[in-house]
Amino acid sequence: MATKKQIILPIAVLAGGIALAIAFMAMKKPPEEKPEQDIRPLVATQSILLDSITLDVKSYGIVKPKDRTELIAQVSGQVISVSDQFVEGAFVKQGDILARIDANDYEADFIEAQAGLAQASSALEIERAQAHVAKAEWERIKSDSSEAIASELYLRKPQLAEKLARYRSAQASVKRASRNLERTYIKAPYDAIINERTISLGSVVNPGNSFGALSATSVAEVRLPVADQELQYLENGGVGSNVTFNAEYAGKQTMWQAKVIRTEGVVDQKSRMSYLVAQLATPYGDKTRPLRFGSYINATIEGRPLDNAIVVAHHLVKDNKIVILNDDLTLSFKTLNIIREQNGMIIASQGLKNGEQIVTSALEYPTEGMTVKIEDVAPNNSDITQLALKEE
């Protein structure tokens, strides 16, 4: 049988433990209240500015002369004179004498032809006088006899026709001799730059032999390849459009203004490109920055204008839709009418209004009506618009 001590001692230990636990609980501080956290996604935005732009088309090409001529000998003989200007790279004016063929034989032919013409002219005048006398004699005979019939031979008409034919033949001989004499002078047909010279002083040439070649400096041409899908951005297929050429000259980027004057009207079988032809007047006119033949140039063809254009980065558009931020900090999706994709940018004509905020941050799962908070506002996209129109 348990004693009184054995019963009281466990009860006392249990009571002490309870009292100690209550004391510890009383000493414990209550948990601090934490402020409510904002778990809305943080986004950056930029303001849309509608602007007018031109849908320019990029191209390239090689500068070539509009006219290039090979100088060919039309008479035979020895080259007795060569101009100091008749060297590769030299500039010549229209009519400049570049070389001369020995003209002694052609001068003799010309003198002989002139003598033949004078002789034929004299014979023609004598025959005309004789024909006049014959006609007068016939008129006298006719008055005495009404039945008299004059023959063509009597009136000397065949003789006159023969002398007239010989006179015209002599005229042709003089013209031919004069032309051959003129051909002994090799002249520049227009203002030009010499491409090559293939003869030297003392060379003997025959008709068909080449003296060299030259290119007209009045007009330069560039064939500009344009993809078929790019033609939609040009007015009138590009004909009449202004073109800006860009190339390096003397270590500096230089620009020239030209104009598209025609289209070749066919598609190249290899490249599947259409070709526009641009012209630039007097490419060598400005000595400080000539557009040299053979230069490789980049070209910007002025396209059709687009009013109220929207230009945004390509990565912000998915399935023709873009995310915008409403005034109440909720998200919405707007559908864009995309006109063109260029240089990593999207150009659209409809879908956004001036001043609307587009979201430029990457959101994993954006949804319609999602609430967000704003980061710093990105710069106005007018600078983005200008950047999009520049070549990468």
The DSSP letter of residue 30 is P
Does 19 fall in a domain?
no
> Would you state the pLDDT for residue 119?
92
Residues 311, 376 within the same domain: yes
Could you tell me which residues are beta bridge partners of residue 219? 281
Q: Closest by alpha carbon to 278, among 263, 295, 289, 294?
A: 263
Residues 133, 171 within the same domain: yes
* CATH number, position 242: 2.40.30.170
Residue 43: how many CA atoms within 13 Å on its side-chain side?
Answer: 26
Q: Closest by alpha carbon to 193, among 173, 160, 176, 217?
A: 217
Residues 322, 378 within the same domain: yes
> Would you state the pLDDT for residue 294?
94
Does 13 fall in a domain?
no
> Would you state the pLDDT for residue 365?
82
- 301, 317, 349 - which closes a domain: 301
* CATH number, position 207: 2.40.50.100
- Residue 253 exposed, middle or buried by CB count within 10 Å (0-12, 13-18, 19+): exposed
* CATH number, position 119: 1.10.287.470
Are 250 and 286 within 8 A, CB to CB?
no
Q: What residue type is assigned to position 38 of the chain?
A: D
User: What's 191-225 look like in SS3?
Assistant: CEEEEEECCCCCCEECCCCEEEEEEECCEEEEEEE
Count of domains forming the chain: 4
Which contiguous run of DSSP H or E holds residue 150?
A: none
Are 61 and 301 within 8 A, CB to CB?
no
Does 190 fall in a domain?
yes
Residues spanned by the domain of 163:
104-182
Does 278 fall in a domain?
yes
Does 31 fall in a domain?
no
> Would you state the pLDDT for residue 64?
96
Distance in angstroms (rounded) separating the CA atoms of residues 27 and 24: 5
Residues (pLDDT < 70) of the chain are 1-7, 9-10, 12-13, 16-17, 19-21, 23-36, 38, 141-155, 375-392
Does 9 fall in a domain?
no
Residues 320, 374 within the same domain: yes
Does 32 fall in a domain?
no
- 270, 301, 332 - which closes a domain: 301
* CATH number, position 372: 2.40.420.20
- 252, 279, 301 - which closes a domain: 301
Does 357 fall in a domain?
yes
